[in-house]
Amino acid sequence: MQKCNLIILFTNAQYLHFKNILKINNDLKKNTIIFTRVKINFNEAEDKSFVVYELNSFRKILQLKKTLKRLCLNYEQFDLYVPHFLNVFAQDVYWRLKNSRKKILISIIPDGTLLFNDYKVKPFSSDNWKRKLKSLLFGLKYKLIKGSIISPYQQINTVYSYFENVVCEARNIKKICFEMKDHIYKNDNLLVLGHRNQKIISSDKVTFIVKNLVQSERFNSIYYKAHPRKELSKDNFRRSLSRSVDCNVINIESEEAIEGLIERYEFSAVFAVASSALISIKLIKPSIDCYSYGYKEYFGENYNKNIHDVFNSLNIKTLG
């Protein structure tokens, strides 16, 4: 049976996780097609193994239908690698394959804390309807999800994770890892990661937590990286921070995931509001002090204590 691997990547962080999957899955080194909105930069040897379709323009999104139709003529089985299905492109690919009566095996790529906090949505939630309207605009297939956004339609074949205590059910759980680069920096620089939804937790409250941390640990400089989907000009947390702390606040202006930038900057500590990047950073550089705040408030009814079990195992400190 002719088989094709289809990979869907939305963010730079997902791209990093996928590269870790490649280290243990040789099957991906042939008949693999990647649909992505991020810049793919494999080395020369790997380039020959993949076909990459960028989804960064309206024209290229419309070409997605033709590409899938052609693939369905050539393959009978598709191994679909996605972070979740609360995404118009991921759903469109799934339903086109399903309607073509192809065999589909789903594998989950790590994304944020979804493997520990199984995010669920209601059929008529704003997230669902925004994506439904987007699908109609682009002529893509999208069905309103009820329940888990990781596995709303069929059982997951494989989950790739850095830990075994995932909340979603799957036939297989395969462990992946980062390459550890644990040079210890003897400086007093704090990295602060911005968060997207700043209406849930008051920016002044988070700033107060950071200010106390700076004073108690005597940091000299703060490096700030805004959330990828938060414009710096509308970042109230960043403004509040610069007004309140008695040290330099330096912006990191890069679209690259912070996990990929960690080697370029000499941080001795990291603070974040409800960010899974702390897990990746700690796995890459165990000596960095990591501080978290606001997980229960941020995730509400979707909060799962598994995330704190992971934090405790990595010695990520919870503030507040």
Across 200-209, 233-242, 284-293, 296-305, least confident range = 296-305
* The pLDDT of residue 44: 45
List the one residue out of 8, 47, 50, 44 whose CA is nearest residue 31.
Answer: 50
Residues 6+ apart with CB under 8 A from 34: 7, 8, 9, 40, 50, 51, 52, 53
User: Are 3-175 and 189-318 equal in CATH topology?
Assistant: yes
| Cβ contacts of 56 within 8 Å, gap of 6 or more | 37
Q: What is the pLDDT of residues 85-105, one digit of tens each?
A: 988 999 999 999 999 999 999
> Residue 303: its pLDDT value, please?
72
Per-residue model confidence (pLDDT) at position 246: 83
pLDDT of 4 higher than 70: yes
Average pLDDT over residues 265-288: 89
**Of 36-50, 207-221, 222-236, the least confident:** 36-50
Q: pTM for this one?
A: 0.88
Q: How far apart are CA 52 and CA 194, in angstroms?
A: 30
For 220-248, what is the mean pLDDT? 86
Read off the pLDDT band of 167 (50, 70, 90): confident
What value does the mean pLDDT take over residues 141-170?
87
Residue 66 has a pLDDT of 86
Q: Write down the pLDDT at residue 45.
A: 46
pLDDT of residue 187: 67
Instruction: State mean pLDDT over 213-222.
Output: 88
Residue 47, pLDDT above cutoff 70:
no
Q: Which residue has the tokens 């036939």?
A: 171
pLDDT at residue 2 tops 80: yes
Which range, 21-25, 55-59, 150-154, is most confident? 21-25
Domain positions in the chain are: 3-175, 189-318
Between CA 109 and CA 115 the distance in angstroms is 9
CATH 3.40.50 for the 189-318 domain, yes or no: yes
* Average pLDDT for 58-84: 88
- The CATH-assigned architecture of domain 3-175 is 3-Layer(aba) Sandwich (3.40)
- Model pLDDT, residue 169: 83
Percent of the chain with pLDDT over 90: 33
pLDDT of residue 121: 83
Looking only at Cα atoms, what is the longest distance across the chain? 64
In this prediction, residue 161 has a pLDDT band, given cuts at 50, 70 and 90, of very high
- Per-residue model confidence (pLDDT) at position 270: 94
Is 288 in contact with 271 (CB distance < 8 Å)? no
Range with the largest mean pLDDT of 16-20, 32-36, 78-82, 137-141: 78-82
Query: Is residue 184's pLDDT more than 70?
Result: no
77-82 β-sheet, strand order: 50-54, 32-36, 3-9, 77-82, 103-108, 156-161, 170-175
- Determine the Cα–Cα distance for residues 118 and 114; give it in Å rounded to an integer: 5
